[in-house]
Amino acid sequence: MIEELNEIKEFLDHIDGRVGEAAHDTICETVERLESKINAYSVLHSISGSFSAYENQLNKIDNIPQTQIDLDHQLKILGNFARKMGLYDAESFIRKQI
């Protein structure tokens, strides 16, 4: 997508001064809207891509049988996992629940 944006920019540079100001402004506004959509898509893609990193880590852990440990202790364990995986807001939230 970066290549496409660069091509559009080159095209705009090429037509600059060759078309009327209104047409140039319309083209620029269209490109800005497209760029905004592409940036939003890129953010969503990077977010969904980052989920796969967590999934990869979770897949390395063997399933453990259900425990009878009390809920507070389970939440402490979960908070430790969240902190270790860099999920600091989640860890803070869990800590407040204990």
45 shares a domain with 1:
yes
Task: Note whether 56 and 68 are same-domain residues.
Answer: no
Mean pLDDT by 10 residues, the chain (98 residues): 68 68 74 72 60 76 86 90 87 88
pLDDT on residue 50? 62
Q: Would you state the pLDDT for residue 69?
A: 87
Residue 72 lies in domain = 63-98
Would the pTM of this model clear 0.85, i.e. be above it? no
Residue 67 shares a structural domain with residue 57:
no
DSSP one-letter string for 43-96:
HHHHHHHHHHHHHHHHHTSPP-------HHHHHHHHHHHHHHTT-HHHHHHHHH
Q: What pLDDT is recorded for position 11?
A: 73
Dihedral of CA atoms 19, 20, 21, 23 in degrees, nearest 10, equals -80
Residue with tokens 């989640």, as numbered in its chain: 90
Domain total in the chain: 2
- Clarify whether residues 47 and 16 are in a common domain: yes
Assess whether 19 and 42 both reside in one domain.
yes
* Same domain, yes or no: 16 and 29: yes
Residues 1 and 43 in one domain: yes
* Residue 49: predicted pLDDT: 57
Half-sphere exposure of 49 (CA within 13 A, CB side): 6
Q: Are residues 11 and 27 in the same domain?
A: yes
Same domain assignment for residues 75 and 88: yes
